[in-house]
Chains A and B, each alone.
Chain A
Amino acid sequence: MKIILNGKNIKCKEGKTILDICKEHNIKIPTLCFIEGLKPEARCRLCLVELDNKLVTSCSTYPYEGCKIITDSKRIRKARSINAELLMAGHVKTLSVDEMENDLYKVIRDLGMTRIRFEPIIKYKQDLSESIIRDDNKCINCGKCIRVCGEIMGVHAISFQGRGHYEHVSPYNNHPLNNVACIKCGQCIAACPVGAIYEREHLFEVIQALKNKKKHVVVQTAPSVRVALGEEFGMPPGSLVTGKMVAALRKIGFDRIFDTDLGADMTIMEEASEFVKRLKKNGPFPMITTCCPAWIKFMEHFYHNLFPNMSSCKSPHEMLGILTKTYYAKKFGIKKKDIVVVSVMPCTAKKFESTRPEIDSDVDYVLTTRELSKLIRYSKVDFKKLKDEEFDNPLGISTGAGLMFGATGGVMEAALRTTYEFATGKTLKKVEFNEIRGIEGVKKGTIKIKGKTIRFAAVHGGSNIRKLLKEKDKYHFIEIMACPGGCIGGGGQPWPTTKEVIKKRMEAIYKADRNLPLRKSHENPAVKQIYAEFLGKPLSKKAKKILHTHFVKRSEF
C-alpha cells in the first residue's frame, strides 16, 4: 500500500496502524494508554494525527491506499495540548513543581506547554496498603493498570467504577487494596504512566537505620536487581552491574553486603531435598515452587486446593534474612536486635511478604530496584564511575544456579541441576535446560531420574498460571512466577519494562551463569559451610524450623 506520510511517499504493509508505521519511521507520537500486545483502547486521545484532514487516533486507525497523514501541525498540537492539559489538571496546578518523571509530564514538556488553565479537582482518598499506594487524584484513567491486572495477571483486583467524570480505578465497592484479593505484584505500578500508583517506600526508614551508629545494617540484593539497576543510570538494558552495585551500597554506608543468590542456593538445597523425598514417597505431585510471594498470595486467594502441592520453603531473601540474624550474628558475636536487614528486590510483593505473620520475617525493610536507584542518587554516588567490588563474607558467595532465580524458568533449572545429583548421586553433565528458558508463557520439559520420566514446567504471568493449573496433574514439578518474565520483569524494576527489555535482562542472567565457575547450588562452599556449622543437613529439624513456612487461606474476593 502506498501512503503519503508527512509529505513523503512511502510504502507500507496492510494491517498496521498509523502508530505502528510512524514507529517504523522514527516519528515520535505521544501515547499514554497504549499497551504493547493488547488491543488499543484509544482512550487518552494524545496520539492524534491528521488523516486526510480529519483528526484520528493513530493507535486505532489503519491507513488506506493513497491517504495523506500528517503527524505534526498547529491543529494537532493544539488538540493534543488541550487533552494533555485536561489530564494534567488533576495532577498538579503549575508545572514548576518538580513532579516525578512521568510520561504525561514528558508529553507536556514536548508540547512546550507552560501552564494548566484548569483547577485541580481533588475528590479521592489515597488507598494505602503495605506495599502499594494508589492516588486516584493523579489517575488519568488510561486503564493500563486494570488491563494488566486483569488480562495479563488474571487477578482482576481493580476495575473502573462509576461513570463519566466519576469514573475511577478502584477495587470493588471502593474497598482498599488491602481488603481485596490483590497479590501485590506491582505490575500496575509498572504500567502506570503517571505515578498514580506507587510502592510504599521504605527509603526513609532505611536512611534512619544507616544514620544510627548502634545499628548493624546488612543489605542483600536479589539476582534480578543487578541486571536492571544500570538502566536507572542510563546504561542499556541487560547491563550486568553487580560490582558497581556492591560498590555503591558500600559507599552508601551499609555494614555488610550479602547476596540473595546465596539464599537462592539455600532454597534449592531445601527444595531439591523436598522433591527427592516426594519422589521416594511418590507424591504429592506436582510440587510447586514458593519463591514468588505474589504467586503465594495468588494461590492463597484462588487455589486453596494446592496447599499440599506447595513446597514449604521460604523465599530466598527470607532465608538469607534469618541466616543473617542467627548464623551470621552468632558467628560474629553481633546482637540480633542490633541487626537491620534490608532486602533490595525487584518486587513489591516482598514488601507484603515481610509483614506476613506466618513468616515472622527477619527482613526489616524491603527496597525495590527503583528505590535503590533513588538511594544511590540521594547519596550523591556517581554510579557509572564506580569500580567493581565484591560481596561480603560469609553470606556473599553464590552460584550461577542462584543467579538464575531472576528469570522465569531459572528456579526450575537450578532445582533440576541439584535434584538430579541428589537423587542419582551422579554428576549432571549437561547443566543447561534450554527448553525452559525464554519468555514463552508456559515452558515444559522432561528429565529421566533413575529411569523415571519427570515432567516439569515453568510458567509466568497470572493468566498463563491459570491456564497451566488446569492441567497441573500432568507434571511432577512446576515453577511459578507471577510477573511476566519472572523477577526481571517484577513490579519494582526500572521503567519501562517492555518485552524487549525483559529479553535483554534475561540474556544478561544466562550469560553471567555461563561465566561463573560454580553453577550448582550444592557446590557453593558457603552453603556447605552453613550446613556443616549450623544446620546439619537439608530438611533437618533446625532447617525446617528456620527455612520453612506455611500458608493461609484467604478470601477469593
Chain B
Amino acid sequence: MQILRKTNLKALEKAKKLGAKKVIDILKKKNLTGRGGAAFPTGKKWEFTLNAKSDTKYVICNANEGEPGTFKDRFIIKNNPETLIEGILIAAYVIKAKQAFIYLRGEYDNLRNLLQKTINKVVKKSGVDIKIISGAGAYVCGEETAIIQSIEGQRGHPQYKPPYPAVDGLFGKPTIINNIETLTNVPQAILFNDWDPNLRLMSLSGNIANPGIYELPVGYKLTDLIKKAKPKNKVKAIYFGCFGGCMPYSKIELTPDSICGKNCIIGSYTIIVVDEKQSILDTALSIAHFYCHESCGKCTPCREGTIRVCHLLEKIKSGKATKQDLEILEDLAMNIHETSLCGLGQTSTNHLLTALEFFRKEFEEKLR
C-alpha cells in the first residue's frame, strides 16, 4: 500500500532544501487534495496560511474521525505513525509554526501512547512542539472550526465561515487543519516520484466476509469493490458513511466519484454494505439516532430537527404513522439539509433523503 511507505524524515529534509514555496508548488502540481471529505487542494490551503500575516501560526492534525464506518485514521496511526508526524513537521516548517496539535478522538485514547512515543522519537530537535489533545467523545469536533473551539477549551460548536481557519484559526491565528490521511500523504508526495494522487483509502464494513481498509484508485468500480468484500447475503444498498447517503446496489454500475448525485456524496470513501436481511428503516433509525446524539445543539434545525426525525422514524416503525407524518419527515429532512449551520447538520439527512428516494416503499408499507 502506498500509504504505508515510510519516508524516514527524508521528505522533511528535502522540503527544507526546497523551501516553503516550492513545497507548496509540489503539492499543487501533484494534486494532493484533502482526504477528510471536502477534497480541497492541500497546497492551496497551505498557501493561504503561509500568506496570512502573523508571527504565530499553528498546525492542527485532525484525528477526530468519527464517521460511522470509517477507521482509516486508526489504521494509519497503527501502521505508519512516523510518516504522519513527518507530515505535520513539514506543514509546520512551511508556515513557520512552532506549535502543532494532534486532536485525537477520545475513542482512540488507547492509541495515544503509541502516538506520543512516535512523536518523541521523530520530533527531536526540529524546534516544533507537537502536542496531543485528547478529544472526549464528540463527533462534531471533526469539523474544523469545532476542533478549534474544542482545543481552546470551549464547547465544540462549529462557527460559520468565513473567516476561515487558514487566516483566523486557533486562538485567532492562521492555522492549517488537515486530517491524518492527508498529512501522511504529504511526505510521500514530496519524496516519491511515483506517488499516485488517485489512490484512496476506503473503509469497508457491514455484513461482509472481508471488512477492512482497501487502497484503490478513484474510478475503481464499486461493484468490483463489493465483490472483493464478499457480502454474506444479497446486497441491497450501499451507505457512504452516515453523511454520504445511500444507493441501491442495483444502480451501482458506477464508480464512487461519478455517483455524487443530489444528496449522495462519496466524501471520505466510507462504504457500509446493507444486505437484504436488513431493513432500510432500521438503518435510517440507527443513523438518525447517531445524528441526534452527536448534534452540537447550536443551531435550530439540527438541535430540534434531528430529535424530531428520530421520533417520526420511530412512529413509522411502530406502524402508527400516517402519510402526513411521512410528508412532515420529508419536509423536515430537506429543511435540516438546507438550513443547518455546519456540515454535520447539512449532511445529517442525506441518508434519509436518498432512502426516501430509492426505498420509499419500505417506509410507506409501514404507514397506517
Chain A residues with a Cβ under 8 A of chain B:
41-46, 48, 55, 57, 60-62, 78-79, 82-83, 86-87, 89-90, 117-118, 121, 140-141, 160, 162-167
Contacts and interface: CB of A to CB of B under 8 A. Distances in A.
A165 B303 contact: yes
Nearest to A82: B335
A79 B335 contact: yes
A253 B305 CA distance: 51
A164 B297 contact: yes
A162 B297 contact: yes
B307 interface: yes
Contacts of B340: 45
A247 B292 CA distance: 56
B301 A86 contact: yes
A167 B292 CA distance: 12
B299 interface: yes
Nearest to A55: B338
Q: Which of A41, A57, A61, A83 has the largest number of chain B CB atoms within 10 A?
A: A83
B189 to A, nearest CB: 33
Contact of A164 (B162, B292, B331, B338): B292
Main secondary structure of the interface of A (DSSP, over half): loop
A57 B160 contact: yes
A57 B340 CA distance: 10
A140 B306 CA distance: 15
Given A42-B299, A82-B331, A117-B328, A165 B304 contact: yes
B92 interface: no
A121 B296 CA distance: 19
Contact of B297 (A62, A89, A117, A160): A160
B52 to A, nearest CB: 19
Contact of B292 (A87, A118, A160, A165): A165
A492 B119 CA distance: 57
Q: How many residues of B sit at the interface, in one of the four size bands?
A: 20 to 34
A43 B342 CA distance: 11
B339 A163 contact: no
| B contact patch SS | helix
A44 B293 CA distance: 20
A121 B306 CA distance: 14
B193 to A, nearest CB: 41
B298 interface: yes
B155 to A, nearest CB: 6
B297 A167 contact: yes
Interface of B: 138, 155, 160, 162, 292-308, 328, 331-332, 335, 338-341
B293 to A, nearest CB: 7
9 contacts: A43-B300, A62-B162, A79-B335, A141-B300, A163-B296, A163-B297, A164-B294, A165-B297, A166-B297
A121 B292 CA distance: 15
Contacts of A55: 338-339
A43 B299 contact: yes
B298 A41 contact: yes
Contacts of A121: 307
Nearest to A121: B307
Nearest to B310: A165
A164 B303 contact: yes
A-B pairs, top 9 by smallest CB distance, nearest first, are: A167-B297, A86-B304, A164-B295, A82-B335, A165-B307, A60-B160, A45-B300, A164-B297, A83-B300
Contacts of B305: 86
B300 A87 contact: yes
A87 B304 contact: yes
B339 A44 contact: no
A140 B298 CA distance: 10
Contacts of A90: 304
Contact of A43 (B298, B308, B335): B298
A118 B306 CA distance: 13
Contacts of A118: 308
A95 B237 CA distance: 43
A42 B341 contact: yes
B197 to A, nearest CB: 30
Given A82-B331, A163-B138, A165-B292, A45 B341 contact: yes
Most buried by A among B298, B300, B302, B307: B300
A62 B160 CA distance: 12
A42 B160 contact: yes
Nearest to A166: B297
Contacts of B307: 121, 164-165
Given A82-B332, A117-B328, A163 B301 contact: no
B339 A45 contact: yes
B293 A82 contact: no
User: Which of B304, B305, B328: most chain A Cβ within 10 A?
Assistant: B304
Contacts of B331: 78, 82
B295 A83 contact: no
Point out which of B293, B299, B307 has the most chain A C-beta atoms below 10 A from its C-beta: B299
Contacts of A61: 160
A45 B304 CA distance: 12
Given A57-B160, A87-B304, A141 B335 contact: no
B167 to A, nearest CB: 14
Contacts of B306: 164-165
Given A41-B298, A83-B335, A165-B306, 4 more contacts: A42-B160, A43-B298, A141-B298, A160-B155
